[in-house]
A and B are shown apart, each in its own frame.
Chain A
Amino acid sequence: MENASEGMRSKASAVTPFSTSCEAQFPSGSSSVTQAKTGMSFSSGSISGESETFIADKSKAVEFDSIRVKVGLLDRLMGLAGELVLARNQIIQSVSSKNANAMESAAQRVDLITVEMQDAIMATRMQSIGMVFNKFKRIVRDFAGGIGKDVRLIIEGEEVELDKSIIEAIGEPLNRIIINAIEYGIETPDIRETCGKPRNGLIRISAHHEAGHVIIKVIDDGTGLDIGKVKARVLVLGLAPQAQLDVMSEKEIIRFVFRAGFSMTDKEDGKLCLEAASNCIVKLGGTIDMETQPGRGCCVTIKLPLTLAIIPSLLLSVGEERFAIPQVNLVDLVRFSGKNIKHQVEQIGNAMVIRHRGRLLPVVRMRDVIRTVEQEQVTDLQVFQEENSVVNIAVVTSGNFQYGLIVDELLDSAEIVVKSLGRHTKGCKVYAGATILGDGKVALILDLTGICALMKLNDISVENEEDARTKNIETSVVSEKTERRSLLIVTNGTNEFFGIPLELVARIEKIKFSEIEDIGGRKSIRYRGGILPLFRIEDAANVTPANASENVVAVVFKSGNRELGLIFSGIVDIVETDAAMDKGTYRQPGISGSIVVNNRITLLVDLLGLVSEIMPENLVEKEKSNCVREEFANVQKEGGRL
């Protein structure tokens, strides 16, 4: 009976082996090569001879099949592989000798090495998009020349890197979009002149990163799309009835150009419709959109996820469910607790706001977002009945607009692999994808721009922006030339306050004073499987020593490639200030100057100066470790396995 059951399962899976689904998502190398080929021959075939095109395509195929990797990167991988071998030996040894301590340290090494290795391997797959973009220079020139148009191509953001599989697949849809823009968008020079435009048309291709996505834009300055004409074509082709068109927005009507069977003309060559391009991009898990201004041109925006990419993110929970927010979208985490919550999270009508860094920040509850997508009524406007509840707010950014998201719990930061949601759940605007957590469960990745649009937060942002601006003018005289800086204000429990530039701070850790080990004249603490050297500001600078207390905080920062911690008694605040820095009065080793924050003189800590003062050998050490690695690489070369 059991055998039979096995038999049926193995048969079912043999019919459609699971592994193929991976290829289906990302078209394999060979298939996209043929796509690229057709694209190439289509464009250049009209000008150059058939044989020449063929040769060009062949070299292209070779290029796509192989990958060019920097030797430095390979060396790094080689070194890491060597270290991995060593760590393995260490594990085998400690297992046979049953030495728990050695095993632990070996496990930590493996952990470190895998992280680095993962980075290095991901880096080998990243290719700059210029590889695809530059191909269009010739295509545009040849194709436009062939139909008597004059088109100038501007390429921006060629340095943006994307995963190899996406680079391979994006060429063909882009080609279609550009050819389409030249053929139907850009007018002939004579017509352009009568319209008061320069004789040569302009096509601009650009790429940039935005919130964990890559945005590719193809902008032309041609005729644009005439909504009326699109409507008429839709009716002629019978894609939708008139009644449906009447209730559709302009944007929805434009989307018809991506529908199967749509073309603006009846000519046979007009069949080069955008549907195939759209399908390609959707298959990659991206979206495509078109904006148009009649007479002024079109802008096709392609939004591609960094699929395959591993992105650092923050996990949070609402009720039983867990969600992830990409770290790039995260600005701050705010936590209010205690009796005065009602004063911290204020309500204006139905909207909730908090005061955050001197401006009003709109906040929404994640629960309300879920209710809204489920199309339930948001009923309980009374937010915080309990006096002693705790409110966790993740301050996030979408584009250049910030808002707060109230969640039940902030869990942890984790590196997640982005996976696209299935076809049936594509319609949900609030998710950017899904991921699989350490325990094997699925968590959804929030699309913060989508939430923003869903909760209609955009309108508030304008007011908010103005609000903040007027406030600034009222409270302080803002000179545009002084640079704004974010400072972490800390104290030693005395009357002295210190400011540390926030961008240098890696983390802040609460530690117990009794856990600090004082060995060899150095203080340190065991931390994340390694040793974190600790020191105090008074070790270098002439300031009042700290009061003795059990709970201290360590401001962790990076110096070279290792982390160091600076101990203080407590954190006061994070402020953003544009006050001028006084470089004279308090300048000394470890202190770069002073600044007035909240009517208090605050000493600015010079972290790197401090390090060179207290640990001058830190730099030497760094060089040495590089030497060791090189030697090791040499040994590897000669002896193979150690």
Chain B
Amino acid sequence: MRENTMPSLSTVKTEEHTGSLELVIAHVANMACALKCMEVQEIIKEKDITKVHGAPPYVRGAINLRGHIVSIIDMRIKFGYEKRNDHEDMAIVVVKEKDENIGLLVDSADDILIASMDKIEAPPANIKGVGRNCFRGVFKKEDDLVAILNVSEILTLAC
């Protein structure tokens, strides 16, 4: 990961805060979403995704991650957006789910920050596109709302 895509990390503290949550902020289309830092294994920029014909539409393909085959899930398709071709900011967030590494393809991975619990609220009932279960909550950033994703729930969704 190049450093220019990781802005202002100096504030990040690694020790666990009570009443706060460390989040990786990513963008899918125009939606800002977040993953719990503890769930994320690494963030990579890999352009060479081998297409797997016949896989569900949301599977972009597979990559080689240090000798292991990792399926890449296109989060745009998962959230019901149009597919977008490869571009410069595109990043793969590798998470571990049910003993398997899975790469989540996002349009950009921008930030890591610590969110205090009192700024996190339960997801509003009218979140469109995917079911409410896919979100753990919504974090109120200064200028933006960030949806905190429930990765395992998203990955079990069939669409």
Contacts and interface: CB of A to CB of B under 8 A. Distances in A.
Contact of B40 (A12, A24, A427): A12
Contacts of B6: 1, 4-5
Interface string B46-90: 001011111110110111101111110100000000000000000
Most buried by A among B52, B56, B67, B68: B52
A260 B73 CA distance: 26
Interface string A373-390: 110000000000000000
A427 B9 CA distance: 41
B41 A424 contact: no
Contacts of A13: 41-42
Interface string A346-383: 00000000000000000000000010011000000000
A370 B51 CA distance: 11
A265 B10 CA distance: 62
A434 B69 contact: yes
B52 A12 contact: no
Contacts of B9: 1, 4-5, 8
B71 A424 contact: yes
Interface in A3-60: 4-5, 7-9, 11-13, 15-16, 18, 21-22, 24-25
Contacts, number: 119
Contacts of A9: 1, 42-43
A72 interface: no
A419 interface: yes
Contacts of A474: none
B50 A11 contact: no
A15 B62 contact: no
A520 B98 CA distance: 66
A427 B1 contact: no
Contacts of A443: 50
Interface string B100-119: 11100000000010000000
- Among B3, B8, B10, max chain A CB count under 10 A is at B3
A7 B37 CA distance: 12
A4 B50 contact: no
B55 A21 contact: no
Contacts of A235: none
A13 B61 CA distance: 23
Contacts of B10: 1, 4
Nearest to A374: B53
B38 A15 contact: yes
State which size class the interface on A falls in.
35 or more
A442 B56 CA distance: 18
B12 interface: yes
A8 B12 contact: yes
Nearest to A16: B96
B3 A1 contact: yes
Contacts of B53: 370, 373-374, 428, 430
Contacts of B102: 422, 424
* Interface size band for B: 35 or more
Contact of B54 (A4, A11, A15, A430): A430
Nearest to A319: B51
A442 B101 contact: no
A436 interface: yes
Nearest to B96: A16
Contacts of A444: 50, 52, 62
B69 A420 contact: yes
B55 A428 contact: yes
Contacts of A2: 3
Nearest to B2: A5
Contacts of A427: 54-56
B59 A425 contact: yes
Interface string B1-37: 1010010111010100000000000000000000001
Given A321-B51, A428-B53, A444-B50, A21 B62 contact: no
A442 B41 contact: no
Residue with the highest number of chain B CB atoms closer than 10 Å, among A1, A12, A419, A436:
A12
Given A2-B3, A374-B54, A423 B48 contact: no
Contact of A442 (B40, B43, B69): B69
Contacts of A436: 64, 67, 69
B36 to A, nearest CB: 10
Nearest to B15: A11
Given A9-B42, A18-B41, A436-B64, A321 B3 contact: no
A310 interface: no
> Which of A16, A374, A429 is the most central at the interface, judged by chain B CB atoms within 10 Å of its CB?
A16
A86 interface: no
B43 to A, nearest CB: 8
Given A22-B68, A440-B64, A441-B64, 17 more contacts: A13-B41, A18-B101, A21-B96, A21-B100, A25-B99, A370-B53, A374-B54, A420-B69, A422-B69, A423-B100, A425-B55, A431-B54, A434-B62, A436-B67, A442-B62, A442-B64, A444-B52
Nearest 7 interchain pairs by C-beta:
A373-B54, A422-B71, A4-B9, A24-B99, A442-B50, A428-B54, A425-B55
21 contacts: A2-B3, A4-B10, A8-B37, A8-B112, A12-B41, A16-B96, A18-B68, A21-B68, A419-B68, A419-B69, A420-B69, A421-B62, A421-B69, A421-B71, A425-B56, A425-B59, A425-B71, A427-B56, A430-B54, A441-B50, A442-B64
Interface of A: 1-2, 4-5, 7-9, 11-13, 15-16, 18, 21-22, 24-25, 321, 370, 373-374, 419-425, 427-431, 434, 436, 440-444
Interface of B: 1, 3, 6, 8-10, 12, 14, 37-38, 40-43, 48, 50-56, 58-59, 61-64, 66-71, 73, 96, 98-102, 112, 155
